[in-house]
């Protein structure tokens, strides 16, 4: 199969619609990362998404809708706090998990009685969602566990020959996936941190909690995606905390001495420590937004320029950095186990 990359035009949108209504998958841009889109009502299309990504079949998908889509078509109940959050943050990088049964393909939520719904703000995503006028499930358009894509080229690198069409909406500005927030209980609970932070949600609805699964208790995990090693570049990775840069420097020198091709991923202010050793540095930038935007592109660059990546956590914590650190830690996890809360 030939994989076409097309700018978003009336013609490419019509082609995308045709593919979607014939059970196909199409990659679409959003303001966070690119998604692999399929018809949420179509069992075959949803199964195809799991198959083409190699996604574990217990990791549910998010349904994407345009700003005027009637939410009551896909959820059972719309809690008052959800309305407040939609008014404050949508369209935007926030996914809300609603009570929902039998409204879309049962494969979307992998047997859970909830549905995660997102309204992206990206103009191209909105144009596509309006064109099809149905909910589109769209997990990140990367092979499962690989780094999420923030450009059409990243999607092409993972799915060349496997999907027919990539709608090119430029580079994603958000850079990390949406915040996933469960609104089925009394207090909203963040299942996956992102650009809409716990603090921002609490300011709107009065309170917000962060979910940390207790793996030792045998409890059923609320958001199975948190279980997996994820976002990982195809090179060895070693992650150091911001307080232990001297260990990162020793590791860098040790790997170089062994003859490995080494690169360093760190925030801008750390770079002189490594550059004076002649190291190749991948610059995460200065602000938390910059770090979110650049993280995935740099992890993909790492796999082209080194076989060992020494990563140093940025000093700032909390806010958007909770999401950035969550992704960086999972990207550098050596085994397929969950990481502790940031
Ligand atoms: P991705 O689409 O690859 O960005 O991943 C979607 C994330 O949303 C994963 O972490 C899923 O576990 C989570 N998710 C999707 N649907 C639900 C749901 N119904 N309940 C809880 N988490 C969900
Ligand atoms: Mg993903």
- Return the number of other C-beta atoms located less than 10 Å from residue 212's C-beta: 11
Which residue from 28, 56, 62, 108 has its CB within 8 A of the most atoms of ligand 1, so it is best to mutate? Answer: 62
CA–centroid distance, residue 131 to ligand 1 (Å): 24
Q: Which of 190-194, 195-199, 218-222, 329-333 has the least mean pLDDT? A: 218-222
Residues of the chain with CATH 3.90.870.10: 4-217
Residues of the chain with CATH 3.40.50.11030: 236-331
Tens of pLDDT along 42-92?
A: 999 999 999 999 999 999 999 999 999 999 999 999 999 999 999 999 999
pTM for this model (two decimals): 0.94
54-58 — which CB contacts under 8 Å span 24+ positions?
54/143, 54/144, 54/145, 55/139, 55/144, 56/144, 56/224, 56/228, 57/110, 58/110, 58/224
Cβ within 8 Å of residue 271, ≥6 positions away: 264, 281, 283
Ligand 1 atom with the shortest distance to the CA of 109: 19
Q: What is the DSSP letter of 162?
A: T
For residues 28 and 37, the answer to whether their CB atoms sit within 8 Å is yes
Q: Answer yes or no: is the C-beta of 177 below 6 A from any ligand 1 atom.
A: yes
Q: Answer yes or no: is the C-beta of 323 below 6 A from any ligand 1 atom.
A: no
CA–centroid distance, residue 254 to ligand 2 (Å): 33
For residues 322 and 342, the answer to whether their CB atoms sit within 8 Å is yes
Strands 114-118 and 62-64: parallel
Per-residue model confidence (pLDDT) at position 337? 44
Burial of 286-314, coded b for 16+ CB within 10 Å and e otherwise, reads eebbbbbbbbbbbbbbbbeebebbbbbbb
Ligand 1 atom with the shortest distance to the CA of 139: 2
For residues 8 and 167, the answer to whether their CB atoms sit within 8 Å is yes
Per-residue model confidence (pLDDT) at position 221? 63
Q: Answer yes or no: is the C-beta of 115 below 6 A from any ligand 1 atom.
A: yes
For residues 27 and 36, the answer to whether their CB atoms sit within 8 Å is yes
Average pLDDT, stretch 113-137?
A: 98
Which residue has a Cα nearest atom 9 of ligand 1?
A: 225
Per-residue model confidence (pLDDT) at position 335? 58
- The CATH number of the structural domain formed by 236-331 is 3.40.50.11030
Q: Answer yes or no: is the C-beta of 62 below 6 A from any ligand 1 atom.
A: yes
CATH class of the domain whose range is 4-217: alpha beta
Q: Which residues share a beta bridge with 237?
A: 309
Written as six digits, the tokens of 280 are 């190749």
């Amino acid at each position: 199969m030939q994989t076409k990359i097309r700018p978003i035009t009336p013609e490419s949108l019509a082609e995308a619609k045709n593919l979607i209504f014939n059970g196909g998958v199409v990659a679409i841009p959003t303001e966070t990362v690119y998604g692999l889109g399929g018809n949420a009502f179509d069992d075959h299309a949803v199964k195809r998404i799991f198959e083409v990504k190699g996604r574990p079949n217990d990791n549910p998908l998010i349904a994407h809708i345009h700003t005027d889509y009637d939410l009551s078509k896909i959820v059972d109940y719309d809690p008052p706090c959800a309305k407040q959050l939609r008014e404050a943050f949508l369209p935007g990088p926030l996914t809300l998990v609603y009570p929902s049964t039998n409204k879309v393909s049962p494969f979307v939520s992998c047997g859970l009685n909830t549905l995660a719904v997102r309204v992206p703000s990206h103009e191209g995503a909105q144009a596509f969602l309006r064109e099809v006028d149905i909910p589109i499930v769209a997990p990140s358009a990367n092979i499962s566990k690989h780094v999420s894509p923030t450009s059409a080229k990243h999607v092409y690198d993972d799915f060349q020959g496997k999907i027919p069409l990539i709608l090119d909406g430029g580079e994603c500005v958000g850079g990390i996936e949406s915040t996933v927030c469960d609104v089925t209980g009394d207090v909203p609970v963040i299942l996956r941190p992102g650009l809409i932070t716990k603090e921002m949600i609490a300011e709107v609805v009065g309170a917000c909690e962060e979910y940390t699964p207790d793996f030792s208790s045998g409890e059923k995990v609320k958001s199975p995606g948190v279980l997996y090693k994820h976002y990982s570049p195809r090179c060895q990775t070693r992650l150091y905390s911001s307080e232990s840069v001297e260990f990162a420097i020793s590791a860098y020198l040790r790997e170089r001495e062994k003859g490995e091709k080494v690169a360093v991923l760190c925030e801008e202010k750390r770079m002189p420590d490594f550059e004076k050793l002649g190291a190749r540095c991948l610059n995460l930038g200065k602000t938390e937004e910059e770090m979110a935007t650049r993280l995935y592109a740099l992890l993909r660059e790492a796999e082209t320029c080194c076989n060992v990546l020494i990563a140093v956590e940025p000093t700032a914590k909390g806010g958007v950095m909770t999401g950035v650190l969550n992704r960086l830690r999972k990207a550098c996890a050596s085994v397929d186990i969950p990481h502790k809360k940031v």
